[in-house]
Each structure stands twice: as C-alpha cells, then as structure tokens.
Amino acid sequence: MNDMKTPDMNTPDKADVAKTDVAKADVTKASVTKDTVATGTGTGTGTGTGTGAADAAGEAQPVFGVRNLWKVFGSKADTVPGNAEYAGLSQAELRTRTGCTAAVRDVSFDVHKGEVFVVMGLSGSGKSTLVRCLTRLIEPTSGTLEIDGEDVLAMDKNRLRELRRHRAAMVFQHFGLLPHRSVLDNVAYGLEIQGMPKAERRERAAAMVAKVGLEGLEGRRPGQLSGGQQQRVGLARALAADPEVLLFDEPFSALDPLIRRDMQEEVIRLHSEEGRTMVFITHDLSEALRVGDRIALMRDGEIVQLGTPEEIVGAPADDYVRDFVRDVPREQVLTVRTAMKPGACDASEHPDALAPTAVVSDAIESVARSGRAACVVEDGRCLGQVDQSALLRVVAGLDREEVAA
Ligand SMILES: Nc1ncnc2c1ncn2[C@@H]1O[C@H](COP(=O)(O)OP(=O)(O)OP(=O)(O)O)[C@@H](O)[C@H]1O
C-alpha cells in the first residue's frame, strides 16, 4: 500500500526537489502520531503554531546549547571563522580563496529536552559534520558547545568517553553490529564495555530487544536478520546504555520504504513512551516532517530555517525553503490553530469542537460532514472558528491578511 515517493534530498537538483511527493496518507499519520507525542511528553515548539504550552518548559532546559559553531576543513581552517572578508563567499569561492571547506558555518541553536530535533539538508550541506561536532567525534573549529550547561569543548578524554557512552549515543546508518555475536550479545556489548556484570547486562539487553520488537530473535546472528531488524538491534544497543540523547545519523536511509516507515514509527513510539531527546539527521523531507518536533534546514553549512514542521511548511524563510516544501500537502501539516479565525464564540457547548493541534485535513472532514463552521477548543475554552473558506485558504497557501486585503 505504500506508494510513498521519498523526497530524496541527496540530489542537489532543484528539478528533483520539485518532484518531491509526500503522499497524503504519510503525513496525516505523522501529524496524528506527533500530536500524541507532543502532548504526552511536553515536546514541540510551536511559536504560536504548534504545541504552545509544552514549549516554555522545553525551552527552559536545553540539552545541547550551540553558539556560533564552525567546522572548517583545511590547513588554514582557523583563519575562516569570523573573518569578514570570507563571510559572503560561497563554498566554492571560499575553497578557491583559502583551500578550506566550511562544513558548518556560524550555527547557533538549542536542542530542547524531550524533543526530536531533525537536521535536514541536501548531501554536503553539513548535517553529519554538525551532529558529529556535538560529541566532538569531529572537533569544532570555533564556537561554544554545552550539554546540560557543561562545556563540551573543555571535556578531557575520559569525560568525552563518558559523554559518548552514557549521555549522547549515536545510532549509525551502518549498524556496526558484530557479525559473530548473537543479537542479545550485540545489544549487551556496550554494557560489557561499561563493565556491567554479565547477568545484569543480559537482562537489560533482553529488555531492550523486546522493546524494539525483536523478542524471539535473541539468539540469531546479524547475518540472519533483515536490514530493518538489524537497524532495530542497533537501536536496542544504543537504548541499552540509557543515554540522555540519541543521535541518529541517517539511520534508515539504507532501508526499503516499507521497513523505513516501520522504523520511523518505532522512533515515534519510543519517543512517546520515553520522552527521550533525539537528534535525527535526514535528507528526506517526509521523514523530517514525520518524526521531527523541530527541523533545522541546512544549506552550505548554515541553518537557513529552524522551526516546527508547520512553520517550515507554512512560513518558509526564503525561496530555497519554499522550493523544498512546495509539494508537501499543506493540509496534512498545518493545524487548525493556524487556519482558524480567532475569537471565542458565545455558545456554552461545542459539540463539533476541534483541538487546535488537529491538522487541517481532519478539520475539512469534520466541517464537510456537519456543513457548518467548527469551534477550536482548548481546555474547554473556545479559541476561534474554522469554516470552509478558512480551510480552503490554508490549502491554497493564502494567509489571512492576503485574503482580508
Ligand atoms: N574530512 C573532511 N575533509 C574535508 N572536507 C570534508 C570532510 N568531511 C566533510 N567534508 C565536507 O564538508 C561538507 C559537509 O559534509 P557533511 O558530510 O557534513 O554533509 P552532509 O550534509 O552530512 O552530507 P551527506 O548527506 O551526503 O552525508 C561537504 O562539502 C564535505 O565534502
């Protein structure tokens, strides 16, 4: 049934991007599931468009705090950050002038506690370099970097090892499983390195194997598993260490679309159950929209827009972002909060009420069924109404002011 054409941002070709086709059902499912996630764990960061109440809490406690981060490759790397002469140069010009590549250029952001933070962009835009800088698998050239307020750049070897093992574990695209060990032993491997006694680590590993849905396959070798199952083992191994943050580097891009979808749902499920902070790299727009609470869209080492899926789709920061999202079905991503005409109604009851986080496509169904405007209600309070024309405007990409004028 899966007719999803994955928008492949590996190809830096506008024509390809324009062909992006996020199948209707895909995004709906994501929106519905993400609503659950956002409500359940206090994630989400809609500045006026998303899950407002949860945001303040999330923003108060960044897990990662990144300021003016640069990673420049090349022998003169140190001369590039902050150099006004190079500031306006494209990557190619910078390379010609200095021989350097600025893979990450003056990037600042926070990763909030409990959110799924997606780093998205074309191949070569700097996603992997940025995420590897977070645990200094790649050493940043300049800037500041904190985890829970602790200076990551000041960490010594031991502290760094602790960071990577216990606090921010990476799940790679190539799972790095040990071929001669069983599933259970692969999952227990990290715990073994940590010095956990055998009985305890096997028990914990078994629990993680069950958590990712591989119960019964504990004794198999990785070669006896499908790609998706192997990826689940990688996920279980990362989870076994119980890290504060999971960092996913294009974890599912080698998987076929059906299995990929399963794994995306697995991530959303795990997130909704545990509220664990996740940083997720992808070049796939539909994947980003499906799993992300916020998305940082990168281009040539810079973040061109950072926002919720709704903000990225509903208010692209520039033509580049607009081009990426132009084939996304807006009604699957934008919410009733954006579509509604604000203002409480006089009624004391709201029989067909919609939640502000409901997506527009759900509201269309509801309004079409009842044949009248629906109230948008939060905590028993009417925030506004949506009628057919308000909903159509969202689908057409017209904002309220445009229509009013
Ligand atoms: N070790 C290195 N030495 C020199 N340049 C590098 C190095 N690693 C990455 N780069 C360059 O930095 C830029 C960003 O690379 P990066 O791998 O971070 O991009 P990406 O967005 O993760 O790409 P992909 O989706 O293809 O993995 C690219 O121009 C790349 O060629």
The tokens describing 252, both together, are 């599912």
Q: Which two tokens stand for residue 201?
A: 């680590």
d(CA 38, CA 51): 7
Query: Is it the case that residue 139 has pLDDT exceeding 60?
Result: yes
User: Quick one: 221 and 174 in the same domain?
Assistant: yes
Report how far residue 216's alpha carbon sits from residue 307's, in angstroms, rounded to the nearest whole number: 41
Residue 126 lies in a domain: yes
The answer to whether residues 51 and 200 belong to one domain is yes
pTM for this structure?
0.80
- Whether 275 has a pLDDT exceeding 70, the answer reads yes
- Same domain as 248, residue 350: no
The pLDDT of residue 59 is 53
Residue nearest atom 2 in ligand 1 by C-alpha distance = 73
The pLDDT, as a whole number, for residue 36 is: 35
Whether the CB of 127 sits within 6 Å of ligand 1: yes
Using the predicted structure, report yes or no on whether residue 43 has a pLDDT greater than 50: no
Decide: 129 in ligand 1 pocket, CB within 6 A: yes
Strands (DSSP E) contained in 10-147 are 62-73, 101-112, 116-121, 142-147
From atom 5 of ligand 1, which residue's Cα is the shortest distance away?
Answer: 73
Mean pLDDT within 199-221: 91
**In terms of pLDDT, which residue wins out, 172 or 174?**
172
Sheet strand arrangement including 374-378? 341-342, 381-386, 374-378
**Same domain (yes/no): 277, 391:** no
Among 31, 51, 43, smallest CA distance to 111 is for 43
Say which amino acid occupies 54: A
Q: Is ligand 1 within 6 A of the CB of residue 36?
A: no
What is the C-alpha to C-alpha distance for residues 320 and 186, in angstroms, rounded to an integer? 42
DSSP state of 284: B
How far apart are alpha carbons 134 and 278 in whole angstroms? 12
Do residues 125 and 295 touch, judged by C-beta distance below 8 A?
Answer: no
Which residue's CA is the nearest one to ligand 1's atom 12? 103
Query: What span, in angstroms and rounded, lies between the C-alpha atoms of 85 and 75?
Result: 18
The rounded percent of the chain whose pLDDT value lies above 70 is 83
Q: Tell me which residue of 187, 215, 180, 221 sits closest to 201, measured CA to CA.
A: 187
Contact 242, 274 (CB under 8 A): no
Q: What pLDDT, on the 0 to 100 scale, is given for residue 308?
A: 95
Q: Is the pLDDT of residue 402 over 90?
A: no
Q: 101 alpha carbon to ligand 1 midpoint, in Å?
A: 9
Count of other CB atoms within 10 angstroms of residue 75? 9
Nearest to 44 by CA among 405, 292, 326, 258: 292
In a domain, 87, yes or no: no
Statement to judge: residues 169 and 308 lie in one domain: yes
Pair (304, 378) in one structural domain:
no
Give the whole-angstrom CA distance, residue 341 versus residue 367: 14
Shared domain for 224 and 174, answered yes or no, is yes
The residue that leads in pLDDT, 228 or 12, is: 228
Domain CATH number, residue 356: 3.90.1280.20
85 C-alpha vs ligand 1 centroid, how far in Å? 23
**Residue 123 Cβ < 6 Å to ligand 1:** yes
- Tell the residue nearest (CA) to atom 11 of ligand 1: 103
Q: Is residue 393 part of a domain?
A: yes
Domain of 382 in residue numbering reads as 334-404
CA of 371 to the centre of ligand 1 (A): 53
CB 214 within 8 A of CB 264: no
**Rounded mean pLDDT, 55-62:** 56
Residue 39 counted as domain residue: yes
Q: Is residue 186 part of a domain?
A: yes
> Is the pLDDT assigned to residue 168 strictly greater than 90?
yes
pLDDT-derived band of residue 268, with 50, 70 and 90 as boundaries?
confident
Q: What percent of the chain has pLDDT over 90?
A: 44
Residues 326 and 339 in one domain: no
Q: Is the pLDDT of residue 258 over 50?
A: yes
With bands split at pLDDT 50, 70 and 90, how would you rate the model's confidence at 227?
confident
Per-residue pLDDT at 41 exceeds 70: no
Q: Is the CB of 128 under 6 A from ligand 1?
A: yes
Using CA atoms, how far residue 106 sits from 67, 118, 143, 147, 222, in Å, is 8, 18, 8, 18, 41
Domain harbouring 285, CATH code: 3.40.50.300
- Tokens 């599931």 appear where? 33
Type of residue at 86: Y
pLDDT class for 6, splitting at 50, 70, 90? very low
3-state secondary structure of 225: coil
Report the nearest atom of ligand 1 relative to the CA of 125. Answer: 21
Distance (angstroms) between ligand 1 centre and the Cα of 126 equals 6
Residues 122, 54, single domain; the answer is yes
Lowest mean pLDDT among 33-47, 76-90, 280-294: 33-47
Query: Is the predicted pLDDT of residue 279 greater than 50, yes or no?
Result: yes
Amino acid at 196: M
Q: How many domains does the chain have?
A: 2
Q: Which residues pair with 102 in a beta bridge?
A: 72
Residue 4: pLDDT over 80: no
**In ligand 1, which atom is closest to the CA atom of 301?**
14
Q: Is the ipTM of this complex over 0.95?
A: yes
> Of 332, 347, 367, which one is at a domain's C-terminal end?
332
The CA-atom distances, in angstroms, between 398 and each of 47, 88, 107, 186, 313 are 20, 33, 31, 52, 13
pLDDT at 306: 97
Q: Find out whether the beta carbon of 286 lies less than 6 Å from any atom of ligand 1.
A: no
Q: Is 101 in the pocket of ligand 1 (CB under 6 A)?
A: yes
pLDDT in tens, 65-111: 999 999 999 998 999 998 888 888 888 999 999 999 999 999 999 99
Checking if the pLDDT of 330 tops 70, the result is: yes
Answer whether 100 contacts ligand 1 (Cβ < 6 A): no
Ligand 1 centre from 119 Cα, in Å?
Answer: 14
| Of 303, 332, 361, the domain-final residue | 332
Structure token digits, residue 82: 């902050």
Residue 349 near residue 325, CB atoms below 8 Å: no
Distance in Å, CA 99 to ligand 1 centroid: 15
Model confidence at 60, in pLDDT bands (50, 70, 90)? low
Element (H, E) at 376: strand 374-378
Residue nearest to atom 1 of ligand 1 (CA): 73
Ligand 1 atom with minimal separation from the 283 CA? 25
